[in-house]
Structure 1
Amino acid sequence: MSDAPVFALIDCNSFYASCERVFRPDLAKVPIVVLSNNDGCVIARSYDAKPFIKMGEPYFQIKHKLKQHGIVPFSSNYALYGDMSERVMTLIESMVPAVEIYSIDEAFADLSGIPELDALGRQIRERVLRCTGIPVGVGIASTKTLAKLANHTAKRLQAQTGGVVNITDPVKRDWVLRNTDVCEVWGVGRKMKLHPDAMGIKSAMDLAKADPWTLRKKFSVVIEKTARELAGTSCLELDDPDVPKQEICCSRMFGMRLTELSPIREAVATYMLRASEKLRAQKSLCKKVRVCIRTGMFNPQEAKYANGVVVDMPYPTDDVRLLTKAAVDALDKIFRPGFKYSKAEVMLLNLCQPGEYTDNLFAISQPTEATQVMAVLDQINERWGRGTLRSASVPTNPLWGMRREMMSQSYTTRLDQLWSVSCK
């Protein structure tokens, strides 16, 4: 049995659109696009919608094209996508020794020492599709960059590959490298396009054969590592999934322009509620809070204003009550009447783990009672759903909430919106 590393990249196909199709079998052959916050622009497309719609196109500009080509638009349903992602990742974790969740719709897996790699790839694909309804592609190779490239090939040549490509064989690897444009390589993108015909590198094979040290001098250490990985030398290991974030941000566009302080306070309190949930989930404490607000930046008829402020917490804390008070008080300092505000943001800064910060004899620490209250808060919300127990300043259905006029049901996260099947 070889000791050489083997990685797989499991990537969900058109993930947001696939989630919408799981509970709408009538849309199995209908092109779909998913829109960003406030139904702004296209952020996801099903495969059959890609020839007609570009990523990032504003919804108000393409309504006629959607209707012309029979494309169905959906507002983003992040609760549904997050829950479906968790189901997919849980299945993958049950089938492989180690997993790095790279994003909401893709994960790297360590397959080192496992025989019958092609069979395992097909098994993962079949099980995820059968248990969740989400189609995935599987790329297998000796490095993470090659696994990403193999996955890209599996999608590009779906009919020939069946969605699984294994390029641990050098012959297959070289074929993929020769037939892939360098701009398709993970970590490269358009960087090479900024230097036309730079070093004659046009294909992935050209990059794999280039001198790594020259690449480092001319471009960056990232390009050097990418070239080494394409040549078969593993430079990237699976990341530790439990490394806590150093900053936590919650930022949203309002569903409408706001001119009064009161609804913006509600928005800031709502965003802080979510940010503090993330903070406690990674078992961190916060030392500083930053609050920002701004108007729309693109309407020439509207006056422009943006401002932010950082405040120190009296002690490292994860108490949403204390954090919300600090954020709302900070908002009062930067709010200016006479403007039409479009967005607010809260950031938790200088995060630390309990016991990491240095106390002195007179330092104040978070009271034990506050920690216990937050634990009960999280337990109730985990059992009965997010927002069941919340700060009094957080409304349930605010008028300023995100505009999502075409959102599907929360089929998997709300009892009152479960999928129903009728027999006729």
Structure 2
Amino acid sequence: MQRAIALVDCNNFYVSCERLFQPALEGKPVVILSNNDGCVVSRSQEVKKLGITMAAPWFKLKELARQHGIIALSSNYTLYADLSNRVMRVLAQFSPEQEIYSIDECFLDVTGINELTRYAQAMRQRVKQHVGIPVCVGIASSKTLAKLANHVAKKRSSGVCNFNALAEDELNHLLSRIEVGEVWGVGRRTHSRLQAMGITTALALKCAPGERIRAEFGITLARTVAELGGTACLSLDEHTTLRAQIICSRSFAIPVTQLADLEEAVISYTSRAAEKLRRQQSMACCVQVAIRTNPNQLKAPQYQPGLTLALAEPSDDTRALCHATLSGLRQIYRTGYAYQKAGIILSGIIACDNRPHSLFDDTEAQQKSATLMSTLDLINRRMGSGTIHLLGEGITKSWAMKRGNVSPRYTTELSDIALAHAAPNK
């Protein structure tokens, strides 16, 4: 039986999330901007046709935006994460084996399903009906080919491409029209080296001698070549592995000079990282805190310190982690500098079940901590992120990143729920 892997990808995901609650944006050129409204992180199809690339600095596009009426929105990651979870829950109904690859795409093992093209259309229809987000589906015998099938699907009105239904010559014809840089796992440097070798298309890479590719690039690209040939080398990862590190860092809306403002930012970032730590049921053994001035301000004094601290015991308690990061911040802070950015890293991450025990463990205190953190997370999930937080995060947060045109948190904040108005009778 031929293996069948489906790659389901949301179309222009961040833009689609915004259009779901703002239908007036349909058909209009829309971009979503990164933190502090710096760079383009998502583009509507209309914007892509104008030649605007990902990561393009927004300040360089303002004249073009004025000419073409481009609408720029600040990123709303709370909304995007919630809609992503809803999409993934719907797609999980179509296969017991699902690998969530990123916020807007996942792999499904659909081996043994009859009429795969119709099955893929059913996926698209259900996600659109239940969540409102458009998706495309690519199906093939390997994950690498499924990625390319999805690439083709995005160019089709049906939104589906099933490589398993194609004859070998038909598949090769499609691969010959796909640039090698579109192949999953081929980065910028590898792309340049492959082009220098005369390998410019996905078909050329598929037909390249495996031994030569392995000798020149290593086993990873050799597996990619095998996958392009239909041999499945990459299995679906159903279980999310623990992150080796959890990082939270942001640039400030304005330069920060006071320790109190830096403390608010570090507490805020540590709290967000601690939530992610608990979400994967893990603990951290070390914390790192770093601050830096603006390296582009060449005439201003420069200072970019960082400090790593080991915790007395592994912890997922926001209070303990903040105590450690604040201790590090106070050691590295110096007056006389205008700080542009701060960040924290949680490392030495272990599963909660693997927490080491000692004769001096205070099990009662550990249980109280677990109960408190669980309650904190539950309330924030139900009532909206940040409903309950440490007072040390501050109230006004003048340092917080700039989000000049952010949409409401329609699905996670009670006060932001969209209102429906009945049209008056004519």
TM-score range, shorter chain: over 0.9
Structural mapping, 1:227-266, within 5 Å: 227-266=225-264
User: Within 1, Cα distance between the matches of 2:243 and 2:135?
Assistant: 28
Aligned partner of 1:50 in structure 2 is: 48
Equivalent residue, structure 2, for 1:132 = 131
* TM-score after normalising by structure 2: 0.94
26, 29, 47: which one aligns with 1:28: 26
Greater alpha carbon shift after TM alignment, 373-382 vs 334-343? 373-382
Distance 1:88 1:354 in 2: 29
Task: Give, in whole Å, the separation in 2 of the partners of 1:408 and 1:384.
Answer: 18
Q: CA deviation at 1:392?
A: 2.1
Gapped regions of structure 2 (runs ≥ 5)? none
- In the TM superposition, what whole-angstrom CA distance separates every residue of 1:200-231 from its partner, at most 9, and x where no partner exists? 32221111111112101111222101100000
Cα offset, 1:198, TM superposition: 4.3
CA distance in 1, matches of 2:413, 2:373: 23
The 10-residue stretch of structure 1 (349-358 or 132-141) with the greater mean CA deviation from structure 2: 349-358
CA gap 1:338/1:92 in 2 versus in 1, 3 angstroms: same
Per-residue Cα deviation, 1:109-151 (whole angstroms, up to 9, x for no partner):
1111111100011111111122222111100000000000000
One-letter identity of the residue aligned with 1:76: S
1:342 to 337, 340, 343: 340
Residue equivalent to 1:375: 374
> What's the counterpart of residue 9 of structure 2?
11
Does the 8 Å CA contact 2:91/2:123 hold for their aligned counterparts? yes
The residue aligned with 2:349 is 351
Farther-moved stretch of structure 1 (331-340 vs 360-369): 360-369
Report matched runs for 1:141-156 at 5 Å.
141-155=140-154
| 1:99 and 2:98 matched | yes
Quick check: 2:97–2:238 contact (8 Å CA) kept in 1?
no
1:302 aligns with 2:300: yes
Q: Deviations over 1:214-272 (max 9, x none)?
A: 10111122210110000010000111333221211111111211000001100000111
Contact 1:314 1:364 in 2 (8 A): no
Give 2:161's match in structure 1, choosing from 149, 159, 165.
165
Alignment check: 8 A CA contact 2:383 2:412 kept: no
SS at 2:53 equivalent: coil
Selected match of 1:41 from 39, 42, 61 = 39
After TM superposition, the structure 1 stretch with the greater mean CA deviation from structure 2, 64-73 or 166-175, is 166-175
1:259–1:140: structure 2 CA closer, same or farther, 3 Å change rule?
A: same
The CA deviation string for residues 7-65 of structure 1, in whole angstroms up to 9 with x for no partner, is 01001111111111111111111110111101111111101101322222222221111
Contact 1:291 1:346 in 2 (8 A): yes
Distance 2:335 2:362 in 1: 37
Is this contact kept in 1: 2:383–2:414, CA < 8 A? no
Amino acid at match of 2:73: F
8 Å contact kept, 1:182–1:192: no
Q: Does 212-221 or 394-403 show the bigger shift? A: 394-403
Gapped runs of 5+ residues in structure 1? none
Query: What is the number of residues matched between the two proteins?
Result: 419
Q: Identity of aligned pairs, percent?
A: 41
SS in 2 for 1:370: helix
Q: Does the CA contact (< 8 Å) of 1:38 and 1:404 recur in 2? A: yes
SS class of match (2:61) = helix
Note the C-alpha offset of 1:362: 5.1
